[in-house]
Structure 1
């Protein structure tokens, strides 16, 4: 039987295998009864192990584990406080999300893609949906404020010039959202080469 910890480690390893965690980038978390498990700062996600995870409370304070959480751990905590249904946050750095979030700082509209149906609540490719883009900030309080202003964001959001934050009500749904968002962004980036 897979535990929350092993399921999170599997999701991190999967994201790393896609090449979405360059130079130890990205951070990953899953909600627990005590708060959330989150990756420690500076860890190589291609070699992630159980002792690379920290347990934090919903204020972002480390309850157990060695190392320090990424500065962005505070944003994970804010997301868990904003929406009790969020069970997982997966943050990666991909070329498509980084480039397109700079090109479309007001958000990215998607329509006509079958893969839109992988995002919870979407039942047709004919709908037009919007992936939010928020400004990048080094100050996590300010970054969280931008997220709060754009809430709700049922699948996640992009941070301009930075990457994807996917959310879900389980680790599996968060993984699905992340993979679908990245696929959709790769399609938009490829289409932009035609124009």
Structure 2
């Protein structure tokens, strides 16, 4: 059993926010494999099935981002999982350019409140994560306002390819392991995933 968690905020007003890219990527992955988020457990919406021969639980915590650890820790305990080997968390990262993804086996939260909550409630930093770059805010923007704003039109056009690459990376983790996925996907994105700078949000 493998737990794949996407981070975000519940509610229609947040659906297209940059901060919800974890939810968005998980929805794409579930749709690709014909899975539906029709279960609720431990403050999360769940989709269960098999991906690359691995039984999986896809989870979207509905605790709001800053309390994501409440749901994640409860699910890890319920399924009796070792977070270092059977948990993968997908979330947005301001410090990566839009379109860049990075896999890593553990480490600090890097200022991401949802990951900070997970570390706090698991009691460990050692769990794999997949960071999805959303880029830095334009000059004059507050970081909080930026992450809670919607994608630009140019970003929207590039999202299907980004979601597909994230799904490919998750599938590789499940089928071949984290090291193989890191070797394959921790590379710079192609130029077409980089939207024009300073375009206003949708």
**Same fold per superposition (TM over 0.5):** no
TM range (shorter): under 0.3
**Structure 1 length normalisation: TM-score?**
0.27
* Greater relative contact order structure (CA < 8 Å, 6+ sep): 2
Scaled by the length of structure 2, what TM-score is found?
0.27
